[in-house]
Structure 1
Amino acid sequence: MSSDRSPPASPLPPASTDVAQQAQSAIVFERTGNSMMQHGDSAPDLPSLGLNVTERKKRKHDGLNPSTASYISDMFTSFSRQQEKLFKELKYTIDNLREQNEDLKKSVDTMSSKYDEFLFRISTLESERKQDKIIFQQLEEKIENLERKSRCAGIEIRNIPKSSGETKENIADTVKNLGKVLQIDLIGSDIRDVYRINSKDGSNPIIAELSSVIMKEKIITKVKNFNKSKPKKIMAANAIYNLPTPSSQAELLTYQYVNRKLKEANTCKDTLE
């Protein structure tokens, strides 16, 4: 009996396409090597070689999305505008500060100039004040000398009451009566002038300006001797008017001399305390 049988499968697989390609590449490489050896001593003719080199293709990146590019452009535009605005504001602020600085500098210069002017005026006023003080002192000395000359022959009589309708003649008679008590003969020519002055206590003492200093000294000496001789120191005016309070006679002094004595007395009092 005959039977149709298929031949058994070969244990070796048929040559694949890759093997064929590798064999072909080896043949090409061998030919290429021979060709390169043949052209080694001459100038290379690379285009004539006809190399079968596989080119590696790189993946190309896709371009930016138009909306994204527009957004980035708008963002940079907005940022540029903000920076420009800030720059303008900063420039405006700097200009204002520069202007204020200039104004402040001018003000300081003006104040410095005025200060120097004030110092000069103060120095001038101090110098004038010193000169005025010297002049015032000289005038005070002259006034005191004039007062001394005018009062060198004057006496002051205190605690003599003022009568109603009193005249200079009445006051002169009072001075003459005082001379009689002191045993001094006073005539009209010995009394140059008599008058009363106002005082705070209302006593209104009598001022008698005599004709000479000798007469004044004589009266002052007689008054002192009279008071020493009396046990109760009854004044001459009491003998005339019989007053409950004693009267007194004193040399007529200048105001500056009196003030100086009062200051000395107060200074001594403060020192003792």
Structure 2
Amino acid sequence: MPRKHTQSPPSSTRQVVDAITDVTSVKKSTTNTAIQHYDSAPDLRSIIENINERKKRKFDEGDIYNTDIIKEMFAVLSRDQAARFDELQTTISCLKEQNVKLTQSVEMMSSKYDEFLSRISQLESDRRTDKKYIELLEDKIEYSERKSRSTGIEIRNIPKKTGETKHDLFNLINGVAKIADVDVNPECIKDIYRIKSRDSSHPIMVELTTVLLKEKILNNLKSYNKTKRPGEKLNTGNLGFRGPTKPVYVSEALTTKTQKLFYLARTFQQQYKYLFCWTSHGVIYLRKEENAPHIKILSEKDIENLRKLE
């Protein structure tokens, strides 16, 4: 396919074409007219030699040096990329190994977690069972302790005498029994002693021989106090103590658990204006008004339920 030129041919080439055109025109003119002679024909060879030939540019030494530098740069870059690729491959392998270990660890932790949940569930079940059993044992101990104190009375707020003996304590109890109009002799008392307390009162504990005797003393003292005005109820002056009189309180002996519950019941009585709070046979009772029904208090939960109703 002939190549199309967008630019005009070189000037030397145009001279050649013009010369050839002149020769052709001369030949044509000789055929029609007489032949004309010229001194000499145009020197085509010299004209053609004047045409500049296009030659390829040869690389000099500088170009070869630059090529070597570029090749070396590509080689260094290739080695660097290869090293980085190897490092990346090593890192990926390490990550895969760590991922496998992490997966195994998670699976092991999941298994341990399920095992712990099972153990916790079993421990919770055992705890509930043990709690019920402990409550049962506490009730049995409370019942046994209450039975052991069923014949005991507690006398509070009597001053302690220096060098006090059991005989001195018996005389005090005998004085209380006389005010209650009850005859008490040494054979009616199993034991008598003081117990330690947070304050300096040190209540007196009396263990009688029968429950009937205990009930008779308590009931008679209750009747005695009802007939007296507040300042004339049983006090230290009735028992022969000199100085300012102090009220003396006599009640049945309570267990440690019942004593705590009785304290909470009396606190509740004062807060909510209940008229009566007492114990009978080791059981605590509350009554809000004179003719209101009595309320049995067996645990702290009973007091909390009363608070919700108020």
User: Partners of 1:223 and 1:233 in 2: how far apart?
Assistant: 13
**Partner residue in 1 for 2:185:** 187
In structure 2, what is the Cα distance between the partners aligned to 1:238 and 1:110? 80
Equivalent residue, structure 2, for 1:226: 224
Q: What residue in structure 1 maps to residue 280 of structure 2?
A: none
Q: Which runs of 5+ in 1 are unaligned?
A: 1-9, 18-58
Deviates more, 1:262-271 or 1:164-173: 262-271
Count of aligned positions = 225
Q: How far 1:109 sits from its partner (Å)?
A: 2.7
CA deviations over 1:32-82 (Å, ceiling 9, x no partner): xxxxxxxxxxxxxxxxxxxxxxxxxxx896787754654454344223212
Task: Give the match for residue 238 of structure 2.
Answer: 239
Task: Give distance in 1, aligned partners of 2:267 and 2:234.
Answer: 29
Residue identity (%):
40
Tell me if structure 2 keeps the 8 A contact 1:182–1:219: yes
Contact in 2 for aligned 1:179/1:219 (Cα 8 Å): yes
Q: Distance in 2 between matches of 1:264 and 1:181?
A: 29
* Inter-CA distance 13–155: structure 2 relative to 1 (3 Å threshold): farther
1:169, 1:82 → 2: CA distance?
109
Specify whether residues 81 and 266 from structure 1 end up closer, same or farther in structure 2 by C-alpha distance, changes over 3 A only. Answer: farther
Equivalent in the alignment of 1:6: none
Query: How far is the alpha carbon of 1:195 from its aligned partner?
Result: 1.0
Structure 1 counterpart SS, 2:153: strand
Report 1:4-23 matches (<5 A): 12=36
Gaps of 5+ in 2: 1-33, 43-53, 273-306
Aligned counterpart, 1:29: none
- The normalised TM-score by structure 1 is 0.70
Task: Provide closer, same or farther for how the CA distance between residues 267 and 129 of structure 1 changes in structure 2, counting only shifts above 3 A.
Answer: farther
Give 1:149 shift: 0.4
Distance in 1 of aligned mates of 2:88 and 2:102: 21
SS in 1 for 2:163: coil
**Looking at both structures, which has the greater relative contact order when contacts are Cα pairs under 8 Å and sequence separation is at least 6?**
1
| Pick aligned residue for 2:202 from 192, 201, 204 | 204
Q: Following superposition of structure 1 onto structure 2, how do residues 68-217 of structure 1 map, counting pairs within 5 Å?
A: 70-217=68-215
Decide whether the 8 Å contact of 1:147 with 1:254 is kept in 2. Answer: yes
The answer to which structure has the higher helix fraction is 1
Instruction: Note the alpha carbon deviations across 1:216-269, whole angstroms, 9 max, x for none.
Output: 110011101111222333316531224511211111122222333444555674
Per-residue CA deviations over 1:17-36 (Å, capped at 9, x if unaligned) read: 9xxxxxxxxxxxxxxxxxxx
Q: Which has the larger radius of gyration?
A: 1
* 8 A Cα contact 2:151 2:209, kept in partner: yes
